A and B are shown apart, each in its own frame.
Chain A
Amino acid sequence: MMNACPEKVIRMMDDYLDGEISPSEEKELKDYVQSCSDCRKIYQELTKTIAFVQSASHVQAPPGFVQKTMASLPKEPQRAGIKRFMRHHPLFIAAALFVLLMSAAMMSSFSDDQQFSFTKQPNLVVEGETVVVPAGETVVGNLTIRNGDLRVDGELEGNVTIVNGQYMASSGVINGEVEEIDQAFEWLWYTIKGTFRDAVSFFGGNDQSIDK
């Protein structure tokens, strides 16, 4: 930056003005500035420059600045409100997402189960897509049938759930509830209800197993 004076003195001057000079270098600088008039001139001009710049009076914001600034602020846009709501209520978002995903899962489990299926019990007979409890036989346990019908000629001790099928009136006896589910929505409702019932029976004891 300066021609006549050594690089090192200029660097020491910068360090000094930045307030980052070691005591030994400061002494070295002082000695050098004493001996070299060019260096002294630069040094004095630099300190004078800094003094001038710092003497610049502190300016103040014009009167009414706060009011003007506040008036110019954008009215909070709607989206910001929603965004803030999401930021401040992460649990709500999590719950909403949970419900969404759960119903999607249940819906897909509904459409996945388009095949004929039923709960395996030892003495059940299958005729085509109809599950039959043969005459004279007693089937113990709950029974779920998907995409098929049920005929009871004998005796069934347990609840029956039929999805996309029918319970055909017959001579047999069912000691339990019969539920027929036909539509996707009902299936969803049943699944939710079932989850709830399971939770209740889990916490509240086995009041479910009492036969009618």
Chain B
Amino acid sequence: MDALVNKRIKRVMKGDQDAFAEIVELYQHQLFQICYRMLGNRHEAEDIAQEAFTRAYVNIHTFDQSRKFSTWLYRIATNLCIDRIRKKKPDFHLDAEVRGTEGLNMYSKIANDEELPEEELMRMEVQERVQYEISRLPDKYRAAIVLKYLEELPLAEISEILDLPLGTVKTRIHRGREALRKQLSNL
């Protein structure tokens, strides 16, 4: 897999855009997933995932091919997500004050997506709740939790993506886990 990706990266470096399309194809879902879980919004997630791919393309010559490409790509994406979260913090704060409205928004959003059977909707509700609780985590815990439990990446890789010492990553995961436990204890 890595050798295959590196071959494509070499082609991209020589100016072959089609090779980059293959890379986007390969990583689109995982990258979108990270952005979606970080931002809690499909539209923004698409926006940021696209931006992350663009940055990777423009800066492809700074990528060290002896390293893992996904680590580099996820790092670009998580940094963009954290920037976005910090920029919209005032808005988010307003949202948090009228929590009831937001729940309603999310609920109507699901209903709009597609007509789902009742039991499916019940299951969906738990998932929406989990997503909601993740998006309430402070951004530094959120990134660690998403990479650990949704992307299921090893701690060493998370520490590389977030550019943090292993110990710090662990602490963030522990704190994020504990915060989620409290938030979800009534579920």
Select one of B14, B24, B29 contacting A69, CB under 8 A: B24
Q: Quick one: which of B13, B31, B36, B180 contacts A53, CB cutoff 8 A?
A: B180
Closest-CB distance, B175 to chain A (whole angstroms): 8
Residues of B within 8 A of A87 (CB): 61
Other than the given A55-B127, A61-B28, 9 more pairs (CB < 8 A) read: A14-B177, A49-B181, A55-B126, A61-B31, A65-B50, A69-B53, A70-B21, A70-B24, A73-B17
Contact (Cβ within 8 A) A54 B33: no
Contact of B49 among A18, A58, A61, A76 (CB under 8 A): A61
Among B1-60, those with CB < 8 Å from A are 13-15, 17, 20-21, 24-25, 28-29, 31-33, 36-37, 42, 46, 49-50, 53-54, 57-58
Query: Chain A contacts of B174 at CB under 8 A?
Result: 1, 14
Given known contacts A66-B28, A73-B20, A84 and B61 CB-to-CB distance under 8 angstroms: yes
Q: Which label, helix, strand, loop or mixed, suits the secondary structure of the B interface?
A: helix
- Nearest-Cβ distance from residue A97 to partner chain B, whole angstroms: 21
Given contact pairs A17-B177, A53-B149, A61 touches B29 in the complex (Cβ within 8 A): yes
Whether the pair B50, A49 counts as a contact (CB closer than 8 A) is no
Most buried by B among A18, A57, A59, A88: A59
> Which residues of B sit under 8 angstroms from A88, Cβ to Cβ?
14
Q: Would you mind naming 6 contact pairs between A and B with Cβ atoms under 8 Å apart?
A: A1-B175, A52-B184, A55-B127, A55-B130, A57-B127, A62-B32
Contact A62 to B42, CB < 8 A, known contacts A1-B178, A53-B130, A73-B17: yes
Point out the residues of chain A lying under 8 angstroms from B33, CB to CB. 58-60
Q: Which A residues have a C-beta under 8 Å from some C-beta of B?
A: 1, 14, 17-18, 42, 45-46, 48-50, 52-62, 65-66, 68-70, 72-74, 76, 81, 83-84, 87-88
Chain B 156-187 against A: per-residue CB contact (8 Å), 1 yes, 0 no?
Answer: 00000000000000100111011011001101
Q: Verify if B65 is at the interface (C-beta below 8 Å from A).
A: no
Instruction: Check if B106 is an interface residue, CB within 8 A of chain A.
Output: no
Known A55-B127, A56-B130, A74-B58; judge A49-B29 contact (CB<8 A).
no
| Docked-complex contact B15 and A81, CB < 8 angstroms | yes
Contact pick for B145, options A53, A57, A59, A61, CB 8 Å: A53
The smallest C-beta distance from A74 to any residue of chain B, in angstroms, reads: 7
- B contact residues vs A (CB 8 Å cutoff): 13-15, 17, 20-21, 24-25, 28-29, 31-33, 36-37, 42, 46, 49-50, 53-54, 57-58, 61, 126-127, 130-131, 134, 145, 149-150, 152, 155, 170, 173-175, 177-178, 180-181, 184-185, 187
Once the chains are docked, how many angstroms separate the CA of A178 from the CA of B127?
96
The complex places the Cα of A87 from the Cα of B20 at a distance, in Å, of 20
Cβ of A205 to closest chain B Cβ, rounded Å = 46
Shortest beta-carbon distance from A10 to chain B in Å? 9
Q: Contacts A59-B33, A72-B54 given: A53-B134 contact, CB under 8 Å?
A: yes
Residues of B within 8 A of A69 (CB): 24, 28, 49-50, 53-54
Instruction: Give the chain A neighbours of B131 by CB distance below 8 A.
Output: 56
Q: Which of A50, A53, A59 contacts B32 (CB 8 A)?
A: A59
Q: Which residue of A lies closest to B51 (CB)?
A: A72
CA distance A42 to B131 in the complex (A): 21
CB-nearest residue of chain B to A87: B61
Contacts of A70 in B (CB 8 A): 17, 20-21, 24
B62 to chain A, nearest CB (A): 12
Most A-side CB within 10 Å, residue of B32, B127, B152, B178: B178
Select one of A14, A50, A62, A73 contacting B46, CB under 8 A.
A62
